[in-house]
Amino acid sequence: MAELIVSVSGVRGIIGDSLTAQTALDFGRALGEFLLEQQGHGSGAAQLQVAIGRDSRISGPMITQAMAAGLLAVGVAVIDLGVTATPTVALMGRFLKTNASVVVTASHNPPEYNGLKFLRHDGIGFPGGSVGKIHQIYLGRHFRAAKIDAIGHFSTDSRAHAHHVQTVLQFFDTRAIAQHRYRVVVDSINGAGCIATPMLLGKLGVELIHQNGAATGQFAHTPEPVKENLGSLCAEVSRRKAAVGFAQDPDADRLAIVDEMGNYIGEEYTLALAVYARLMAKPGIVVTNLSTSRMVDDIASKFAGQVIRTPVGEANVAAKMLEVDAVIGGEGNGGVIDLRVGPVRDSFMAMATVLDLLARTGKTISELVRELPRYAMIKTKFPCPVEQARVLVDRVRDAFKADHLDTQDGVRVDWPQGWVHVRPSNTEPIARVIAEAKDENIARDLIDRVEKLRHT
């Protein structure tokens, strides 16, 4: 039997193996117990509420309904949002003033996976300690059983997609974008982005060519939006002479971009272009994680902006953004966070931001990319238990102690010519190593130096 993966944001597993309806039911109870304890809830108090949305996976209804049943059983009300993107669930949780939200999704993982992502009342992922506490309650299986007059109230809300689109559009000159009548190809991978994407792009006057645009959960290809999975999108952009191609992941929080010639430009450029667009309008603080490209720093310097780095993880980036009132932030995996909409990665905000950048500059995607600094980034990982990964981090730190170190999350070493980041994975028994430099050979050399330390 596969092991249920418990991470800083929630849980993930294989349907019918490590993740079953019973698992979801008990995690619903555990989340309810956690919220009731946090609120000091007793009899006579107003009933707590949790919003639940799901991506389009076939297992979604089963897991959602089991999760809802667990919450209802301990006396927590549930608002079911249906098939909904992760950023939409976060937005609706704040709009509905719920005590927490849950997204039933396994993000970019294959269809046999599903998971539960826990969000606070403000839309940010629960801190790791809170997820750990929920997991401990789940393992203890000491759940209250609400009496008939205290069972949670169940309801549905169908406003999620329209509310998200309306929220995004208020920050853009829609007429200025619409007058260009951009032709755009979008691959929504039959996921949660299928519903709001045509609503959003229609309001922006876009001619949409929608690939895999039905939210069936029958993913047309491996769902992660990386180059090797987007051949059809690249070909269609070129064939249809589109201005840009966009690829979403199943829960529509990440976005990859294809230029007007059909070239996949890389996930790192999604955040880079968004930072460029936002700082043009409002210079300020940018927050990103330690594993994201230096392009962000170079762009920020042009606008007298400041870049603050955090440990890897969307919740870490979002929390720091709120703390410092950042104007834009995100991660180099295609995740753009704009606090004006919400403290989560949002592919809809990213699409609107890129189209706005095209309209304001009058340039093509390839022209904008050519203006950005170019780096070679290499990502790799070494199989090893967590303790061995920590030993590797210590060796790297000691070997380069005379250089510029950041030890918030593993260790990142910076030199003028490049950087390397070594960290234990939060979810797997591996060490992740990422290096970036102006020259690919330098980046490869940085990886090799870490590899030698592993065998010391």
User: Are the C-beta atoms of 331 and 312 separated by less than 8 Å?
Assistant: yes
Active centre residues (catalytic): 107
Q: Which residues contact 454 (CB under 8 A, 6 or more apart)?
A: 382, 384, 392, 395, 431
Adjacency order of strands within the sheet including 183-187: 207-211, 183-187, 244-248, 255-258
Q: Distance (Å, rounded) from C-alpha 183 to C-alpha 209?
A: 7
State whether the Cα torsion 185-190-191-195 is positive or negative. Answer: positive
User: Are the C-beta atoms of 309 and 408 separated by less than 8 Å?
Assistant: yes
User: Are the C-beta atoms of 285 and 324 separated by less than 8 Å?
Assistant: yes
Q: What's the gap between Cα 105 and its chain centre?
A: 11
HSE-CB of 363 using CA atoms within 13 angstroms: 13
Q: Distance (Å, rounded) from C-alpha 246 to C-alpha 347?
A: 9
Q: Distance (Å, rounded) from C-alpha 273 to C-alpha 285?
A: 15
Question: Which residue type sits at 37?
Answer: E
DSSP state of 429: S
